[in-house]
A and B are shown apart, each in its own frame.
Chain A
């Protein structure tokens, strides 16, 4: 049986070019980038080049990129780092109810430490309303953190509008772009973004590496103390092979961006077309024009998500119910809850399919047909 991976929003396979860069580099360039000898200089050069690639990808400056161990660390650093460094100005932070847990649980930690967090609701399409943000903004608001696009339903947030609004407010603007980066062009200057988190493994790069863009002049305390790496904002010897692989993944991703977006849109359209042909009862969440091209979150009337996912897996199809969480947990998705309320059936019958590198149109058709078959079987008894 062919195994089909349509869970690229959870993590993605490494691009062969990325693997090649990393494995080529490992035997030769093992120096410590901080060392003064030529081994060190070679490694430093690799890191510098990668930093340039990362910075250019979002129209930032070379000095504004901090390599981290991934998206979670980037979010932690952004939130805790700016909150601690700016608490003399205020303790009010605004975020949304649909953030990734890397942001939500960091906010809970800050709440315990005396910060006041406001969690903005979203509409039924999973999008934050500007008027809610305007109402929530206060003079003592020091940070606004709104994700670029949601990882579970793919809803794209009004980032440029928020950036515009905050141009006239001292609060910093952080966005978790882990899911959007690579499939949406990002310009931090035009969009008015002060901090932005990215993870490599969502764009066919290696796991365990990411970056946080921090606009120059942002007051932020470090959260790892030690050596002077990353301009003292993130100590620890750089993960050189992963950083090089990350850079390759970024350049590959940018090179093929338009083509990818078009292909995923085609996948999504075909997927929905087949489900419609099969005449099963389903509903696609979100608004097409405000949803990530590679993510489609669908509720199937009358099914139970636990049964559905296991059946899909037994058919060789890897999808998910949104955020990867402890299996057996009854905790419904906080994103769907924010969109539909606590007692809606969507919380228990929604499946996320996310497309990516290596998927073919034939695979997507197979997934759609098998999905329809399982839904029919589960709803017929």
Chain B
């Protein structure tokens, strides 16, 4: 292991407080730190204003405060080809994609990591809430210390090769400590608001954004028994378990999206948060990736998350062919959604994950979910 002063670390800087503190801490520890801003999306408006430019201004201020060089790199083309195309394809297929998982897999920890290595970096660091530990000759990816902020869900597709070249300098901290460090160091981004939503959509209206790329086909809203409950604005605007925006009034419990019938362009709804149709007990997941290279291919029990910030669920994992697994839940789980990630944990360690593909209950596939 090289000394910090002989170790070059590229920090992916977004202009937010997390990556600012990540860079600051590495510099404090004596590493040779380089800040790089990644531009993946062009959102320049008609007045030439672009949030990326504003974020880069913040990166510049922070890097000058810390005393490290900064650069920018453009991955708009790669992002479009690998992330945005996937994003649109999934919506077209009636599913709910997770572009952040794809962005980490294809852009941040692939194209950007390659870029960092071409600049002679030993490591790539980011401001993710996750931790890497060398144990038994292997790099393990552990949950971030701040339970509420843990981002291993989005990092589940990283391979051992990728993890071995990655640093998460704030993974052992709580968010409030990160802000505190930023304030004490006087970093320009100390009180900057956290970004929300999908990075390329930002604060904009999601419906409006998606409508620019995919034609919305309005259609009928029905119960599973075929009762007409109203109209939907286009299936892509809805996700399983969603309550808001259905516009179904009347007596009784609120209504929720329980499924989509792509062929008939019908949105399926059911009444009550705990509507039985929302629950499932088994899935098949595809594109499985493990953080270790030595995954024994035998069935095992662990915990899993089916969406970000969901509490862990006990599951059993069975290996199938073609990089797929069957995941059997200890208890039925509400609103498991095709297209989202399933991520496996053993204690604090993130084992890997995949994409939720087919959903089952009592041994039969829930066709209405998609």
Instruction: State the A residues within 8 Å of B (CB).
Output: 306-307, 309-311, 313-314, 326-330, 378, 381
Contact = CB atoms under 8 A, between A and B. Distances in A.
B64 interface: no
A306 B34 CA distance: 14
Nearest to A326: B53
B119 A328 contact: no
A381 B118 CA distance: 9
B115 interface: yes
A371 to B, nearest CB: 15
A329 B44 CA distance: 11
17 contacts: A306-B71, A306-B72, A306-B74, A310-B34, A310-B71, A313-B69, A314-B34, A314-B69, A326-B53, A327-B72, A328-B37, A328-B39, A328-B56, A328-B73, A328-B74, A330-B76, A378-B118
A326 B74 CA distance: 11
A332 to B, nearest CB: 11
Interface string B67-93: 001011110110000000000000000
Q: Which of A306, A313, A381 has the most CB of B within 10 A?
A: A306
B77 A330 contact: yes
A108 to B, nearest CB: 12
A313 B71 CA distance: 10
B52 interface: yes
B161 interface: no
Nearest to B77: A330
Given A328-B37, A328-B74, 7 more contacts: A306-B115, A310-B71, A313-B71, A314-B34, A314-B69, A328-B39, A378-B118
B10 to A, nearest CB: 10
B41 to A, nearest CB: 11
A198 to B, nearest CB: 28
Given A328-B37, A330-B42, A311 B118 contact: yes
A329 B38 CA distance: 10
Contacts of A314: 34, 69, 119-120
A329 B43 CA distance: 12
Nearest to B69: A313
A207 B42 CA distance: 32
A344 B37 CA distance: 26
A311 B72 contact: no
Contact of A311 (B52, B56, B120): B120
Interface of B: 34, 37-39, 42, 52-53, 56, 69, 71-74, 76-77, 115, 118-120
A104 to B, nearest CB: 14
A381 B119 CA distance: 12
Contacts of B76: 330
A330 B72 CA distance: 11
Nearest to A308: B118
Q: Which of A328, A330, A381 has the most CB of B within 10 A?
A: A328
A144 B76 CA distance: 37
Closest 9 CB pairs of A and B: A328-B72, A327-B72, A328-B39, A330-B74, A310-B71, A307-B118, A306-B73, A328-B74, A330-B76
A307 B118 CA distance: 7
Nearest to B44: A329
Nearest to B10: A310
Contacts of B71: 306, 309-310, 313, 327
A306 B77 CA distance: 14
A86 to B, nearest CB: 29
A228 B357 CA distance: 76
A307 B72 contact: no
Contact of A307 (B37, B53, B115): B115
Contacts of A309: 71
A307 B119 contact: yes
A220 to B, nearest CB: 28
B119 A311 contact: yes
Contacts of B77: 330
A313 B119 CA distance: 10
Nearest to B73: A306
Given A306-B73, A310-B71, A327 B56 contact: yes
Contacts of B118: 307, 311, 378, 381
Contacts of B34: 310, 314
Q: Which of B52, B115, B118, B119 has the most CB of A within 10 A?
A: B118
A305 to B, nearest CB: 10
Contacts of B74: 306, 328-330
Contacts of A378: 118
Nearest to A307: B118
B199 to A, nearest CB: 14
Nearest to B32: A314
Contacts of B119: 307, 310-311, 314
Contacts of B120: 311, 314
A333 to B, nearest CB: 14
Contacts of B56: 326-328
Given A307-B118, A310-B119, A314-B120, A328 B69 contact: no
Contacts of B73: 306, 328
A326 B50 CA distance: 11
A330 B76 CA distance: 8
A119 B72 CA distance: 31
Nearest to A328: B72
A307 B34 CA distance: 13
Contacts of B69: 313-314
A339 B42 CA distance: 26
Contacts of A328: 37-39, 52, 56, 72-74
Nearest to B117: A381
Q: Which of B37, B42, B74 has the most CB of A within 10 A?
A: B74
A112 to B, nearest CB: 13
